[in-house]
Amino acid sequence: MAGYDYPPAPLCDQVDDFFGTPVPDPYRWLEDVDSPETLEWIAAQNALTESFLAAIPARDSLRARIRELFDYESFTIPFRRGGRYFFSVNSGLQEHYVFCTSDSPEGEPRVLIDPNLFPPEENLSLAGTSVSNDGRHVAWGLSRSGSDWSDWYVTDIETGELLGDTVRWTKAGWVAWNADDTGFYYSAPRPPAPGEEYTAVTEAERVFLHILGTSQEDDSLVYECPGRPELFPSAFLTDDENYLIIDVFDGSTLDHNFLYYNDMTLPPSERTTEELVGRLGATYSFVGNVGAVFYVRTNLGAPNGRLVAIELEHPDPECWREVVPERDEPLEGVSLLNGSGTLVLEYSKDACSRVELWSTDGAFERELELPCPGSAWGFGGRQDDTETFYQFTSFLYPEVIYRYDFSTGASEEVRRPEIDADLSAYESRQVFCESCDGTRVPMFLVYPRGIELDGGNRTLMTGYGGFGISMSPYFDPSIILWLERGGVFAMPCIRGGGEYGEAWHLAGVGACRENTYDDFASAAEFLIAQGFTSTPFLGIEGASNGGTLIGACLNRRPDLYGAAVPQMSVMDLLRFHLFTYGWSWVPEYGDPDDPDQFAFLYRLSPYHNIMEGVEYPAVLVTTADHDDRVVPGHSFKYTARLQASQAGDAPVLIAIYPESGHGGAVGLTEALDRSADIYAFLLAVLGDDREASGD
């Protein structure tokens, strides 16, 4: 712990026995996030980090500039209900997006829910919205301090009146209205015991129906899975309101789920829950229905996905009609629109969007022309809609919202943001590097035009590599902040993600996770070999599972990187399953309670593999005190151990964000300050002495 007077972190004598292997856990006491000892440690760590950041000359200018970059009007994708359009808007630097309605997609917004008017001392944020099909009511969720827990309320859209309904202790972030818009379906686990709201295991969710004007205690149970706490059900009506779809996610598997339905045309006494697809070891996404024919996107027998039509009278897989077969590009989304006559299919080609239109009888119609390599999403709506809306973005292409008209086949701009930056001063491109086993790994690069490839460019490389999540191009004004300082931004699409379908995902799961770490290190070596940067100038960053990546990569190659910022990270791979939703990550990471899987988890766990007497690069860990998805104890224990083991002079710091959850800050101002501080840290620690001031 050379160079810094770190807050004391006493060692405890906790040793766990894993199948005959003694595993010390000397900082177990830091898992008790509310103990006086932990709170004292948190305060001391935050004071140390603040003193370091406050001494960086560029901190104030970075905070000011990031505000300028984010100060533009931005909108979410609109949707239509009951003759009105609904969307959220931020006028620039508002702390929260405001939920609005208008008579047209381009019309003047009328405010429905403004979270900026919530009492600031209560640290509240909007956790979700759901508009009734007739456009008369909006249900909206409220989260405190960034927690995943949310309570739901209902507002009359015409009058703005808040109704008396309250639905508490939900975590799913969704509700779905019933057929006559007199109530809504929602799922909820059993409420936590007092004092265990942010740490207790979350399981055994059930689906309920809440009727407006009644108490939550009177809500009727719609669906539950007795004896199966690992199952997470949700429910929604088909657009024709003839069927209630029950989608059951199996948290003990890799994204497998089941689909059930109730025929709502039958009298209530005759309705039964029927299986549509289930227990076939695959994923199923309900797209829509035409009468008793259901369209479903699935990876059953097709790792990259395909679209099938299932007749309710003959639901067995051998009777399915394949509408769109599997192909090389992963199928990431399907919508049924235009009077139930057109399918919009979203593919990923080398991590960039490709959108096609098909007929329901399996005939290709056209490909949607997109502005450049980037990401398009949205394409929602009801099946009878003759228009759909989508957003397109890329690293140097701010989020533009388009309206697609099925009758003309044309897209038109609805909203385009105005950014206070000259984006033409930069360029982005995709390159491919080779991993240790010869696998070709794509990587996106963004950098100033005319950059010199002399190894002296500060570079920030970010990664994720897990849960089948694709890292596709996106616009983030904070990246522009980095580019304006001469920095390079790199984003490799490593194994464990979904960029090339389920096979790419599985190549980074469990014991194969070392492929993910090899890919990331190979991307770093590529940047160095090509002259973009060198070790003293190379910083790495990742959040959540991406933070786990950063922690593991630091242990494997502390000599390769100049700085690291692991955020909200899973660092103890032997105890992650004991808190909140952690047990549902076992299919991805592995099972510590299995002797074979324990072996590789112990070998890869960032907390357990910190090496004593090693010179680590500069590290800034971030976490949040109300993170009830990845509990902050992971980051606390990791930081304490790394500080005690650091043999070099580089700082090992932690920022513990107060009154915040897994998504970070509740309000925009705090979020921007935290982002600017990370860039200030990187500017201060990367590079040679002349540049280390960060100014």
Which residues are identified as catalytic?
544, 662
Max Cα-Cα span within the chain: 78
Tell me if residue 475 falls in helix, strand or coil. coil
Whether 656 and 691 have beta carbons less than 8 Å apart is answered as no
Cα angle 173, 174, 177; round to 5 = 155
Exposed e or buried b per residue across 594-621, where buried means at least 16 C-beta atoms within 10 angstroms of its C-beta? eeebbebbbebbbbbbbeeeeebbbbbb
DSSP code string of 234-271: EEEE-TTSSEEEEEEEETTSSS-EEEEEEETTS-GGG-
Both tokens of residue 583?
Answer: 């047990």
**Which amino acid is located at 196 in the chain?**
E
Q: How far is CA 84 from the centre of its chain?
A: 29
Per the DSSP assignment, residues forming a β-bridge with 413 are 402
Cα angle 540, 542, 548; round to 5 = 105
Whether 563 and 484 have beta carbons less than 8 Å apart is answered as no
Q: In what order do the strands lie in the sheet with 137-144?
A: 124-131, 137-144, 150-156, 167-170
DSSP code string of 280-307: SSS-EEEEEEETTEEEEEE-TT-TT-EE
Residues in the chain: 695
Measured distance CA(412)–CA(689) in Å, rounded: 51
Other Cβ atoms less than 10 A from the Cβ of 322: the count is 13
Measured distance CA(353)–CA(393) in Å, rounded: 10
Whether 390 and 401 have beta carbons less than 8 Å apart is answered as yes
Whether 489 and 447 have beta carbons less than 8 Å apart is answered as yes
Residue 567 Cα distances to 542, 570, 638, angstroms: 6, 9, 12
Measured distance CA(426)–CA(445) in Å, rounded: 10
Residue with tokens 């000359």: 57
Q: In what order do the strands lie in the sheet with 459-462?
A: 426-434, 440-448, 488-492, 459-462, 538-543, 563-567, 618-624, 652-657
CA-CA-CA-CA dihedral for 313, 317, 319, 321, to nearest 10: 110
